[in-house]
Amino acid sequence: MLRFHLRRASGYLGVELRTNIPAEPLWAVLGDTRLWPKWGPSVTRVEVEGANFFVHEGMRGRVGTVLGPTFPFEIDAVKPGIAWGWRLGGVRATGHEVIADGPNAAWIIFTMPWWALFYAPVCLWAAKRIARLARENPWLDTGGS
């Protein structure tokens, strides 16, 4: 199931995809920076500062993009096992969430400012790739969640 919604209070658009996959393996894919190029259509590479490759508040690094340039990023909000948010080049970028819907299903949710509506199809594609990676790799580390 696919849903789009506008959160009026925040002005953010949400793209939500329901999967028949438990939340834990989805979170493992979503939070592992080494996997971002595998599911993020606009990401070609990721470099993080330090040895911890799993998203955590204060994490910094750089992402390479399909357009060529690299941008600094900072993970500035994390709810372990549920959500993370970041700033890309100093600008608030997409939000990422995994919400359990029973023991064997979960929603993958991307949020973005309303003016970034054009990015919704990219987020949907990413959500489908996250689900595929989680389904094909049940051995993934869940990042301690």
In tens, the pLDDT along 52-110 reads 999 999 999 999 999 889 999 999 999 999 999 999 999 888 999 999 999 999 999 99
Laid out side by side, the sheet with 91-100 consists of 2-7, 12-19, 106-113, 91-100, 83-88, 70-79, 60-65, 43-48
Q: Tell me, which fold does domain 2-136 have in CATH? A: Alpha-D-Glucose-1,6-Bisphosphate; Chain A, domain 4 (3.30.530)
Please report, for the chain, the start and end positions of each structural domain, with discontinuous segments joined by +.
2-136
pLDDT of residue 25: 95
